Amino acid sequence: MGLWEKINNPKFKPVEFDGFKSQAGLHSFVMTPKRWIEGVNSMGIISKSGRYGGGTFAHKDIAFEFASWISPEFKLFLIKEFQRLKEEENERLSLGWNLRRNLTKINYKIHTDAIRAYLIPKKICEVDTDLVYASEADVLNKALFGMTAKEWREANPDKDGNIRDYAFVSQLVCLANLESHNAEFIRQGFSQTERLLKLNEIAIIQMISITGSGSLKKIGNNHA
C-alpha cells in the first residue's frame, strides 16, 4: 500500500508512512482504514459511510494484491489471465504486418501473371523466364528501396532473407500498390525504363502520404 501511494499519489506523506511501518508487527499496533487514509493522505484507499453506499474501497491494484495474498488460486488465475492478454496483444500487433505481407504476396501473383503474358517471349527457356522475373522485381526494389536485391545483399552480408523481409509496414503497403501499378504499365506497353521512372514517382508520393512526412528523401535517385 505504501509503495502504491509513493508511485501514484503526489500528496503522499512518506514520514507518516515510515512511522506506521516501524510499528507494524507490534501487538499494540492497530491499523484502521480511517487512520491510514488520514495518516498518509491516501488515494488508494477510500472509506465511505452510509447503509447502502458505505464501506472501504481500494484501487484495483491494491485489491488484486490483497486478493492474491488471501487466495493462491486467485493469484494463479491472475497470472494466467495476464499471460493470455499479453499473447493476444502480441498477436494483434503482428497481425497488421502479416496482413500487409500477405497482401504483397497476392499482388505479386498479379504482377508475375502480367509479366508472363506481356514480357516473356513464347517458348522461352525456364532460366530466361526467371531472369525476367528477377529483373521486374528489381524494378520495384529500385523504385521503392533505391537498390536491387543483389545490391542489398552485398550491403547486408550478415542478414538473412531479402530486402523485403526487413521492410517497414509503410513500405510493404506502398510495395503492394506499386505491383498493381507496374502490372498495368506492362499491359499498356511501357518500357522498363519508363516504368521505373513512373513507379519511383508514385513511390515518393505514396510514402510521403503514408508517413505524413514532407521531408521524405527521394527514393531511388539512380535509375540506371
Mean pLDDT of 66-70: 89
Say if residue 60 is in the same domain as residue 101. no
pLDDT higher than 80, residue 214: no
Task: Answer yes or no: is 9 within a domain.
Answer: yes
Q: What is the extent of the structural domain holding 18? A: 2-70
Please count the structural domains in the chain: 2
Residues 6+ apart with CB under 8 A from 40: 2, 5, 12, 13, 16, 17, 20
DSSP 82-139: HHHHHHHHHHHHHHHHHHHHHHHHHHHHHHHHHHHHHTSPTT--HHHHHHHHHHHHHH
Tell me, yes or no, if the pTM score tops 0.95: no
* pLDDT single digits (tens) 89-128: 777 666 666 666 777 776 776 666 665 554 343 453 555 4
* pLDDT single digits (tens) 25-58: 888 888 888 899 999 999 999 888 877 778 888 8
Say if residue 123 is in the same domain as residue 166. yes
Of the two residues 110 and 177, the one the predictor is more confident about is 177
Task: Answer yes or no: is 82 within a domain.
Answer: no
Say if residue 136 is in the same domain as residue 205. yes
**pLDDT category of residue 221 using cuts at 50, 70 and 90:** very low
* pLDDT (0 to 100) of residue 172: 86
- Picking from 11, 35, 70, the residue at the C-terminal end of a domain is 70
Residues in the chain: 224
- Picking from 70, 105, 126, the residue at the C-terminal end of a domain is 70
Q: State percent of the chain over pLDDT 90.
A: 16
Say if residue 115 is in the same domain as residue 164. yes
Residue 11: all three cell numbers together: 500528496
Say if residue 112 is in the same domain as residue 184. yes
pLDDT higher than 80, residue 71: yes
Say if residue 130 is in the same domain as residue 184. yes
Of 80-94, 119-133, 182-196, 203-217, give the lowest mean pLDDT range. Answer: 119-133
SS3 25: coil
Say if residue 155 is in the same domain as residue 51. no
Are 111 and 182 spatial neighbours (Cβ–Cβ below 8 Å)?
Answer: yes
Are 67 and 74 spatial neighbours (Cβ–Cβ below 8 Å)?
Answer: yes
